[in-house]
């Protein structure tokens, strides 16, 4: 296809840079835009009605412009939140402007008829809830850790007594602080003797620790599957907490039932792409050795050894070449 690919993301996004570079090499028209640039850096006009049953109009950035009807695919990466655009305003005005931008411009960009989204933001929003992920994994026959979500200390202690050792993990990443830098809370072992009434303040996610021999990051793009066994040199419970440059990556074959289940998982949420994390018990050559942990519907993959091949898979699916679209 020769129609335009629209990439919606923030200015600094290495993952999007890789895909845009591949599309440029194929001489595919690409327009990159951050919706939060609305104003001098981004203008648009969209029309419907008067005999036109779908939205039409133009989106204009500081360096590119595109006719909405010519957008064949949208790569929805990580655009800046609209609230950041209006952060200088008093709270009421900020919230109003951000909501208007999200429902106005965002509403148009979410509703382009006949356009492939990788992934659609509403599908991503549905698929980001860990409780929904775990239930879908179980429905598809994948092994999952025994899990408790609670704000009740006694229930947490009873769960730990039955399934210990247990780990705690947050539902979401740590928001950015006043300095603008985001932090992280990694999965970690917890001592049930420390559980007290402070647990009641918010929900907590506890899981039975999987006696794993390693981890797998599995990236699925359309029909293509990329899997890498990941090990931290220090044997950390959560490999993300250390130096990613020192991680040991080993290609690993994926049992057919795992591949089928992950494809069904993505289809059930209306996703085209997802980054799955599995804990391995044993060598990983059998499906029962794979325990599903989570799926990031908008994950990063540029740090993986398979990044060049994954990049090409994204370019294939966005241009609907090579049978990439599921």
Q: Spell out the domain ranges in the chain.
A: 4-118, 146-208, 211-318
The alpha carbons of the chain give a radius of gyration, in whole angstroms, of 22
CATH of 4-118, one of 2.130.10, 1.25.40, 1.10.3470, 3.40.50: 3.40.50
| Strands 204-208 and 188-190, sheet pairing | unpaired
pTM for this prediction: 0.91
Domain 146-208, classified CATH 3.90.1570, yes or no? no
Taking all residues of the chain, what is their mean pLDDT, rounded to a whole number?
Answer: 92
Confidence of residue 179 (pLDDT cuts 50, 70, 90): low
Region 3-22: what's the mean pLDDT?
95
Q: Name the burial class of residue 59, with classes exposed (0-12), middle (13-18) and buried (19+) by CB atoms within 10 angstroms of its CB.
A: buried
324: Cα within 13 Å, side-chain hemisphere: 20
Nearest of 13, 16, 6, 11 to residue 311 by alpha carbon: 16
Specify whether the CB–CB gap between 248 and 231 falls below 8 A.
yes
Is it true that 4-118 and 146-208 share their CATH fold? no
CATH of 211-318, one of 3.50.50.60, 3.40.50.300, 3.40.50.880, 3.30.470.20: 3.30.470.20
For residue 311, report the phi and psi dihedrals to the nearest 5 degrees.
-55, -45
Predicted confidence at residue 99, as pLDDT, reads 97
Confidence of residue 285 (pLDDT cuts 50, 70, 90): confident
Per-residue pLDDT tens over the stretch 222-263: 999 999 999 888 888 888 887 778 889 999 999 999 999 999
Statement: residue 289 has pLDDT above 80: yes
And the tokens for 59? 């989106």
């Amino acid at each position: 296809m020769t129609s335009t690919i629209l990439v919606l993301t923030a200015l600094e996004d290495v993952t999007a840079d890789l895909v845009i570079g591949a599309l440029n090499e194929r001489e595919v028209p690409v327009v990159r835009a951050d919706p939060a640039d609305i104003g001098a850096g981004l203008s648009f006009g969209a029309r419907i009605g008067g005999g036109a049953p779908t939205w039409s109009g133009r989106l204009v950035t500081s360096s590119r412009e595109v006719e909405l009807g010519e957008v064949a695919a949208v790569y929805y990466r990580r655009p800046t939140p609209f609230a950041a655009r209006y952060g200088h305003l008093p709270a009421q005005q900020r919230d109003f402007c951000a909501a208007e931008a999200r429902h106005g411009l965002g509403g148009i960009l979410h509703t382009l008829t006949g356009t492939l989204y990788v992934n659609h933001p509403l599908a991503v929003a549905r698929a980001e809830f860990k409780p929904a992920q775990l239930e879908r994994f179980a429905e598809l026959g994948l092994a999952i850790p025994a899990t408790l979500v609670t704000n009740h200390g006694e229930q947490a202690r009873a769960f730990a007594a039955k399934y210990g050792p247990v780990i705690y993990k947050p539902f979401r990443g740590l928001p950015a602080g006043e300095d603008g830098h985001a932090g992280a809370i990694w999965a970690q072992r917890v001592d049930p003797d420390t559980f007290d009434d402070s647990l009641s303040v918010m929900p907590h996610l506890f899981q039975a620790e999987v006696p794993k021999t390693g981890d797998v990051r599995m990236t699925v793009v359309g029909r293509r599957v990329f899997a890498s066994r990941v090990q931290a040199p220090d044997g950390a419970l959560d490999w993300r907490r250390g130096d990613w440059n020192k991680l040991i990556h080993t290609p690993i074959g994926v049992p057919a039932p795992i591949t089928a289940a992950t494809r069904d998982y993505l289809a059930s949420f209306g996703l085209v792409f997802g980054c799955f994390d599995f804990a391995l018990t044993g060598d990983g050559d059998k499906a029962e050795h794979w325990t599903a942990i989570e799926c990031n519907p908008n994950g990063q993959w540029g740090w993986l050894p398979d990044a060049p091949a994954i990049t090409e898979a994204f370019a294939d699916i966005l241009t609907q070449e090579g049978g990439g679209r599921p």
